[in-house]
C-alpha cells in the first residue's frame, strides 16, 4: 500500500532526475561552446597531450560546474516552465497528450453530455482533467498502478531528451557557421559529432513522445473502464460549475 511518504519520495526522485539531467546537458552545452570557440585543432592538442595535471584539473572543473549548476537548478522554481515551453515550440506532445486525456475522460459521459463538454474552453478542460486526477489519486490501488506503469518517469526522460535535442541542435548550428566562416579548418569533425548527437536526441525524443501518447491513451481508457461512474460524476459537477460562471 502506498503511503504519502512513499509517494513524496517517488516524485522527489523524479524531480532530482530532471535536475541532474538539466545540469549535465548544460555542462555539455558550455563545453561544446568552448570547443567551438577554441577550435578543434587546439582541443585535439590538449587531449593528445593528456597531462595528468590537466586531466585532474578538467575532472575537478567538471565536478565543480556540475554541483554549481545542480545547486542553482534546485532553487529554480520555473524549471518546469522551460521544458514545457520547449515542447510547445518544438514538438507539442504535451498538448496532444492533454487532448487525448480529455477526449478519453469524457467517454464516461453520455453522448449529449460529451457535446457540452467539448464546447468548454481549453483551460477549463485542463482544470477538469486535473480535478479528476486529484480525486482518483486517493485510490491507492489505481495510483499504485500508475506508478508501476512508469508513465511519470517516461515523461521525465522525455523532458530531459528535449534539453539534449535543443542544446545539441544549437551546437550543430554553431559549428556549421564556424565551417562557413572558415575560422576552424578542422571544424568538420566537431560539426559531425554535434550533428550526429542532435539526430540521435531527436530520434529518441520523437520515439518517447509517440510512445507516451499511446501510453496516455491506454492509461486513460483503463481509468474510465474501472472508474466510469466516479469520473462521470466529477465531470458533470465541474461542467455545471463552469457553465454557471459563463
Query: CA 86 to CA 166: how far, in whole Å?
Result: 8
Residue 216 has φ and ψ, to the nearest 5°, of -65, -45
Query: How far apart are the C-alpha atoms of 172 and 156, rounded to whole Å?
Result: 24
Q: Indicate if the pLDDT at residue 245 is higher than 80.
A: no
Locus of grid cell 480525486: 135
* Cell numbers linked to 117: 463538454
Q: How far apart are CA 48 and CA 38, in angstroms?
A: 15
pLDDT at 42: 59
> In this predicted model, what pLDDT tens digit does every residue of 139-155 receive, in sequence order?
777 777 788 888 889 99
pLDDT for res 60:
67
The highest-confidence range among 23-37, 72-86, 127-141, by mean pLDDT, is 23-37
Domain boundaries along the sequence of the chain: 4-245
Residues of 158-180 as b/e, b for ≥16 C-beta within 10 angstroms?
bbbbbbbbbbbbebbebbbebee
Question: Tens of pLDDT along 111-146?
Answer: 877 877 777 777 777 777 777 777 777 777 777 778
Report d(CA 62, CA 170) in Å as an integer.
21
Highest mean pLDDT: which range of 33-37, 66-70, 184-188: 33-37
| Burial grade of 134 (CB within 10 A; 0-12, 13-18, 19 or more) | exposed
Q: Is the pLDDT of residue 160 over 70?
A: yes
Q: Is the pLDDT of residue 55 over 60?
A: no
26's CB contacts (< 8 A; 6+ apart) are: 69, 163, 167
- On the CB side of 184, how many CA atoms lie within 13 Å of its CA? 23
pTM to 2 decimal places: 0.84
DSSP 125-141: HHHHHHHHHHHHTT-HH
Name the band, by pLDDT with cuts 50, 70 and 90, for residue 197. very high
Pull the grid cell for residue 77: 522554481
Which segment of 82-91, 208-217, 232-241 scores lowest on mean pLDDT? 232-241
Supply the pLDDT for residue 209: 96
The CB-side HSE value for 159 (13 A sphere, CA atoms) comes to 23
User: How many CB atoms lie under 10 A from the CB of residue 107?
Assistant: 14
Considering only residues 201 and 52, tell me which one the structure prediction assigns the higher pLDDT: 201
pLDDT the model gives residue 74? 64
Contacts of 43 (CB under 8 A, 6+ apart): 35
Phi, psi (deg, nearest 5) at residue 151: -60, -35
Amino acid at each position: 500500500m502506498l503511503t504519502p511518504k512513499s509517494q513524496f519520495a517517488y516524485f522527489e526522485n523524479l524531480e532530482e532526475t530532471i535536475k541532474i539531467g538539466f545540469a549535465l546537458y548544460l555542462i555539455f552545452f558550455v563545453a561544446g561552446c568552448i570547443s567551438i570557440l577554441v577550435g578543434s585543432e587546439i582541443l585535439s592538442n590538449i587531449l593528445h597531450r593528456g597531462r595528468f595535471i590537466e586531466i585532474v584539473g578538467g575532472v575537478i572543473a567538471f565536478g565543480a560546474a556540475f554541483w554549481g549548476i545542480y545547486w542553482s537548478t534546485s532553487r529554480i522554481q520555473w524549471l518546469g516552465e522551460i521544458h514545457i515551453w520547449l515542447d510547445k515550440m518544438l514538438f507539442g506532445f504535451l498538448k496532444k497528450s492533454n487532448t487525448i486525456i480529455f477526449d478519453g475522460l469524457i467517454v464516461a459521459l453520455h453522448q449529449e453530455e460529451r457535446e457540452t463538454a467539448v464546447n468548454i474552453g481549453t483551460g477549463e478542460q485542463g482544470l477538469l482533467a486535473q480535478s479528476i486526477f486529484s480525486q482518483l489519486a486517493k485510490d491507492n490501488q489505481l495510483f499504485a498502478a500508475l506508478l508501476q506503469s512508469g508513465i511519470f518517469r517516461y515523461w521525465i526522460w522525455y523532458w530531459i531528451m528535449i534539453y539534449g535535442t535543443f542544446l545539441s541542435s544549437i551546437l550543430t548550428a554553431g559549428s556549421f557557421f564556424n565551417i562557413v566562416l572558415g575560422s576552424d579548418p578542422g571544424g568538420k569533425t566537431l560539426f559531425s559529432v554535434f550533428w550526429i548527437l542532435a539526430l540521435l536526441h531527436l530520434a529518441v525524443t520523437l520515439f518517447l513522445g509517440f510512445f507516451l501518447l499511446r501510453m496516455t491513451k491506454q492509461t486513460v481508457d483503463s481509468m474510465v473502464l474501472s472508474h466510469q461512474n466516479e469520473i462521470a460524476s466529477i465531470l458533470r459537477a465541474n461542467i455545471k460549475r463552469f457553465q454557471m460562471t459563463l
